[in-house]
Structures are given as C-alpha cells and as structure tokens.
Amino acid sequence: MQSLWDERVASNCKSHLELRVYSSRLLGRDPSLVLHGGGNTSVKVREVNLMGEEEEILYIKGSGWDLATIEAPGFAPVRLAPMLQLAHLESLSDPQMVNELKTRVTRASAPTPSVETILHALLPHRYVDHTHADAVVTMSNTADGPKRIRELYGDKVVIIPYIMPGFALAREVARLFQEQANADTIGMVLLNHGIFSFGDNARESYERMIKLVDMAERYLAAEGAWELSETPFTGEPVPQRQEIVQLRQQLSRKAGKPMILHVTGSARGLEFARRYDVQKVAQRGPITPDHVIRTKAIPMIGRDLDHYEKGYRDYFIAHEPSSSEHKTMLDPAPRVILDHDLGLCCAGASVSDAAIVHDIYQHTIVAIQRAERLGGWKPLPARELFEVEYWDLEQAKLKKGGTPPIFQGEVVLITGAASGIGKACVASFLARGAAVVALDLNPEITQLQSSANYLGIPCDLHSSEAVTQALECGVRRFGGIDMLLLNAGIFAASTPVAKLSDEEWRRVMAINLDANLALLRESYPLLKCAPNRGRVVIMGSKNVPAPGPGAAAYSASKAALTQLMRVLAIEWGKDGIRLNALHPNAVFDTGIWTEEILQARAQHYGLTVAQYKSNNLLGVEISSHDVAELAAALCSPLFAKTTAAQIPVDGGNERVV
C-alpha cells in the first residue's frame, strides 16, 4: 500500500478542517481501507465562540457521511471538554450517550456525531484516523490473530480486544492506551474491527495508517496469504431467469416486502460458492461486526430459505431474547446467497442496498480465503454478532425508518424507452424507486440514465433471441420483472387502405402487435412470481375508440393489442396479474412532432400552434410526462383492484366521448 498524499493539493487547504477533509477522502477512495460509509476520522481544533471564549472542538465524521465523498459539513463539531467529562462516568447507555453527543454540538444543522466520539476525544492526538483495513482485519480473524498482530507491530500499536462501539469501548481504550502506549506508539488495533492511526498533523496521521496497513499486507504476502488466483468464467451462462425469479419471490416473502436480488456474475463468487467446505467457512461469521446490519451474520448456502431461517435462528439461539418484539424484528431473509449454479447473489431492499452487500461480501470472500491460508478463518463468536444485530441504536433506526418509495424493491421493464413517452416513463418509475430495465433499438439507451437503478439494453423486439437475452440480463441484475410497460411501436405514413401494401401492413403489425405478443408470452412466468403481483400497462391510442383516415394499419394494430390485453386480463387474473391500457392522443413533445409539422397541422385547422396543442374539451396540452405519470399510477396500489381498463389521456376528445 502506498501513500497518495499530494503536497500540492494539501498546500491549498487553509485550515485543519480542510486538511481533515482532504486526508479523509484519501482514505475513503481505497475500498481495502474503507467501504460504504465505514471508518471514521476526526481533528481537534481551538475556536472562539460568540462570547469571545476560546474552546476546544472535536470535528468528527457525522452519521450518514462517506469518507470517500465527505465535505466539511459532514464533520460534527462537538465540544471536547464535555466528552472528556463523560469518560469518567461509570456507565452510560447508548441512547444517553447519543443524547449527550447531540446536545454538545456547536452547529444545529450538524449531522449526528459518531458513536466513537468519546473514544476519539480521549486519544491525545490532534488527528485520528480509523479504517477497517482488509489486511489487518483478516489477520485478527484467525485463530492466532492477536499473537500475529503483536509480533508484527510490537510497540507501534496498542491492541484492544473486541468491544462493541460505544461508551464501554471508549473507557477500555482509555485504560489500555494509558497502560500500553509509549513514544513509539503510532496506532491502535481493535481486534476483529479495525485499525487507528494518529498524529499531530493530517499527513502524519494518514501516512502512519498507510505504513501500518502496508506492514500487514507485506506480512500476508510473506506468509503466502496475499495473492489469490481467480479462475475466470468461460462459456455462455445458462438461462436461469425462472429459477432466479422464484428464488426472489421466496426471499421477498421471508422479508415481508419486495427485494432486489442481484446475481452478480462474480467469478470469485462462483468459485467460492463451489468450494467443498463453503458451508463450513462461510457460516462462521462476517469480516467485521459492522457488516452484520448490511449482510446478516451468515450467508445462505443454496436456495432452501426455510432451512436458512432455522439455521439463522439456531446461530443465535443461546442469545436470543425471549421478547416477542425482538423475535419479530429478526428478519430471517438472507442478504448473501452462495449457490453452486448461480454463484454469489446479493439481496437488498433497494438496488443500492444490494450493491453494498455485493461490495462487502466480495471483500469478505477475499478475507476468508487469505485467513484460511494463514491458519483458519475465525471471526467473532455469535454472541458478539448478536449484540450488533440487536444493538438498540440500530433497532432505533429500523423503528424510525420512514416511508420507502412506492416501488422500492420492484422492477419494471419498459419498451421504446429511449424517447418520447417511453423515456418519460423511465423517469417516472425511477422517481418512485423502481429498478428500470429499458429496451430500445437506439444504442444510446445504455446511457439514458446514470442511476444504479437503471439498466438500458439495446434490443430488437422482433428478435426472439434478443428478447430472451434482455429478459435474462434484467432478471440477473435485479431479480425479476414486476411490471411491464409496452410502449414500443411505430406510426406509419398516412396511407388510405386502397393504397396500403401488404408489406407495410405486415411491418406495422409485426412491430405494434406481434412483438408485444411475444414479449408478453415470455414475461408471463416472470410476472407470476412478482412479490406484489404482476402489472402490465399497454400503450394504446385514441385511434382505438376513434380511428382516423389513412391510419388503418396503426389503428388496427393498436386495437388488436388492446383486445389482446382484455383476453390476457381474463387468462392471467387467476395469477393476480392485472393489465390495463392507456389511450393517449396529441402528445406533441415526441420526436415525430417537429416545429414545422406542428405549424403545418395548425394551419390546416386554422389554429395557432398553441391552440392546436390544446385542441380538446379541457383545453389542455398533453405531455409525455402526463402519460408516464398515469402509467406509473396504474401500477401502484391506487389501482390494485382494477384490470382490463382503458383510460384516455387526451384532455377529452369529442369523438371518444
């Protein structure tokens, strides 16, 4: 591990806090040190308050901030003197401690200070850095880890046995630090948890961290426990979307809500899942207790969720409280699944949650493999992990919660998604928390959105192979298809029936009807497994109830698609799948309506462009956003008891009314 310190950048920092931000972000950019909000940093400064009095302030990373992206407002300014006074108390509950921390900040808008605030306050150094360095935690998670760490670091570090973060840890650190620290001490190791470094300036503290971690990495390398081979996956993956959606359906039932299930495709994950001893090594525990909240204490091996639930409860059985409240709060749904065929699968209430699980467990696999070479993987016992699982501070977060987005944990597939109504539908569903699989012929569909909830796939709906691949890809990324929005279609040039060729008729029918029929047929087994029941929205047209001259092929194709929707509402109702149609009209913010065409059409009717756009009973203009919002609403619980409906989105059309 090498220092990334750049003195040219550091010289532009005008204060200790700015240097704290800079060095914190250096740590946060390395996932082998800090992963998804982990780690902690602080700096002690002297400031003058409104009364003109100088006081010592501890700036410490606030709750909810990530070291990789932290800014100055992410550090909570806490008065140092009260923290030192608290350290002399005999006991302090976690809720009491949090209350004391919150009431000692100097800025009302500051984030909640870290639960390690008192610990940082007690360390007699201006800068304190704390990471969960993979190499150090790997060493401590072995049978003789403490001995190895003592031999490696000697007097350079103070070694603290594992204690859950909070007041008790702070008091023990104060005691042991006073007993063990000397002039050579530059850091501190919390066994099974992480490593601290400190110094009088930002660079010193940062580079001490790099030095200590580099020593651990070199030690693992010397012991033949650093470099790991990885067998690359070869060959095309076997279609498994039906197995995946069924697994997700069961997983969601256990969790009591729709879950995202990401089949990661990790070569290392697949290799690990196929280890002969995976059951033995993987179910000993996580790399650090901090990860229990994200990944659960142990992964599921295979796909038997009932067996996993029993095993998970048995894992904690000696420590599980008799309180029914705690028992019901214990979520038995796994977050990590290791399957011989699927490999590493990661679950979460949202796409971002599943992604965090993936990143954490990739690191966990590496740590386990290295520890096995170093004498055997031996994380904390179940008792300590149980304490984290039921930590009152974490349980308070769960209770506080908040209302999640309406489609959180659910997946929608949208066709014709690169422009017009389809593009607007992508935005509307993303805004409601859905994961979106967007299909379009336009290759730019892959770049339409930068959200982790978005997967754009170039796809020719005429090709059964392309459709199959798109469904497989979408299911592997998110776990299933809950909602289907059929928007792709074409509006051919105006042609009277007398001049309509067979070729043009078949072309329109193939795109507007046949391709949708095939996609519906292929999606049916997936929609059946939707945790909240499947939903389909057909994008019809005003031309269904009120056709016009010159649009025979388009009108007939949309009418046939609508009739197909009605038939499927009858056939699929028994599976709880509901299908509804929208009939938009005069939606002018799409690619086919240029200013020239609008001007020509308006003149034809003797209207201005503005009058032409709002030429309906309500006198309103219809936008793609309007249609998209109603499409999303149709998939929401508002319409949970509605199927086979046909809803106009036209501002009121005399011919339809």
Burial class of 639 by CB neighbour count within 10 A (0 to 12, 13 to 18, 19+)? middle
Say how far apart CA 388 and CA 395 lie, in whole Å: 10
Dihedrals φ, ψ of 31, to 5°? -65, -15
Closest CA to 373 of 133, 132, 141, 34: 141
The helix (H) or strand (E) run that includes residue 601 is: helix 595-604
- Catalytic residue (one of 22, 315, 390, 554): 554
Phi-psi region of 266 (alpha: psi -120 to 50; beta: other; left: phi over 0): beta
DSSP β-bridge partners for residue 43: 59, 127
Alpha-helical (H) ranges within 462-543 are 464-478, 502-509, 515-527
Burial class of 559 by CB neighbour count within 10 A (0 to 12, 13 to 18, 19+)? middle
Phi-psi region of 550 (alpha: psi -120 to 50; beta: other; left: phi over 0): left
Alpha-helical (H) ranges within 29-93 are 80-86
Say how far apart CA 481 and CA 412 lie, in whole Å: 6
User: Angle CA(633)–CA(477)–CA(361) in degrees, nearest 5?
Assistant: 125
Q: Give yes or no for a contact between 542 and 653, defined as CB atoms under 8 angstroms apart.
A: yes
Say how far apart CA 191 and CA 169 lie, in whole Å: 12
Instruction: Return the half-sphere exposure (C-beta side, CA atoms, 13 A cut-off) of residue 277.
Output: 8
The 3-state DSSP class for residue 89 equals coil
Dihedral of alpha carbons 553, 620, 433, 424, sign: positive
Tokens of 648: 């106009």
Residues 6+ apart with CB under 8 A from 333: 251, 252, 254, 255, 259, 305, 347
User: Which amino acid, residue 500?
Assistant: L
Residue-level length of the chain:
657
Residue with tokens 């290791």: 338
Q: Give yes or no for a contact between 125 and 174, defined as CB atoms under 8 angstroms apart.
A: no
The helix (H) or strand (E) run that includes residue 27 is: helix 16-28
The 3-state DSSP class for residue 530 equals coil
Instruction: Return the half-sphere exposure (C-beta side, CA atoms, 13 A cut-off) of residue 271.
Output: 14
Burial class of 49 by CB neighbour count within 10 A (0 to 12, 13 to 18, 19+)? exposed
Q: Known catalytic residue: 554?
A: yes
| Structural Rg of the chain based on CA atoms | 30
Q: Give yes or no for a contact between 244 and 329, defined as CB atoms under 8 angstroms apart.
A: no
Residue with tokens 């309406």: 406
As annotated, the active-site residues are 554
